[in-house]
Structure 1
Amino acid sequence: MHAQLKPQLSIYHVDTQLKRPVYLPYYPAVYPGEICGSWLSRIKFHNTLGIWNSVLASLGIFQELRFRVFDLHQPPVALSLVLHYLGTTLHDAMASMSTVPYSRTFDAATPSRRHHLPRFCSLCIADDIESHGEPYWHTEHQLPNVLVCRLHAVLLRDRCPACDKILATKNKFLVEPLTHNCICGADLRALPRRKISTTHKLYALSEISYHALSEKGGSLDLRQIIAFLLKKTKSAQGLHQLLQHVWGRHPEVEIFWSTDHALTNMRASDIAAALVALGLKYDEAIGKITSPATHGYLTQGEKRRNKMPATLDDAKRSMCDFSERFPGKRLAMNKVAYEYLLIHDLDWLNRVFPSERPRRLPSIHSDRQSIHSTIQRCAESGKPHFITTYPEHIRAQIRDSAWLDAYRAKAKKKSGPKDETYEEKSQSRVSELIEAIRLSETLSTRPRKITTRTLSWRLWNAEP
Structure 2
Amino acid sequence: MINFLPELYENELFYSVIARYRTKCGMVSGRALIEDLFGRYIVITSSNFPLYIKDFIRNLPPSSKIAEKEIIEKHTTFRFYTSFLSGEKTKLIYQTMEDGRNGSKLNIEQRLGFGGSKVRQLSYLRYCPVCYQEDLETLGESYWRTNHQIIGVFYCSKHHVLLKESSVLSTGTGIDFICADERVCNAELLEDKYPCTIKSLNLKYTHNAEVLLNGNFPRKELSYIIDYYIDRLRERRLASKNGSLYMKDLQERFMHFYPKQYLEMMQSSVDPDSPSNWLRLFVRHNNRNRSPLRHLLFLQFLGVEIDDLFENKKVIGKKSVQVQYNPTFDIQKRRKKWLQLIAENPNANRSQLKEKGKGLHTWIYRYDRDWYNKVTPKAALGKKKSAVIDWDKRDEECLRLAKEAVEIILHREGKPIRITPSSIRNTLGLGSWFHNKKLVRTQRYLKEVKEDIDEFRIRKIKWAIDEIIENNGVLTPYKVQLYAGFGGSNKVIRKLILIELDRM
TM-score (norm. length: structure 1): 0.49
Larger RCO (CA under 8 A, 6+ residues apart) = 1
Structure of larger gyration radius:
2
Give the TM-score normalised by structure 2.
Answer: 0.45
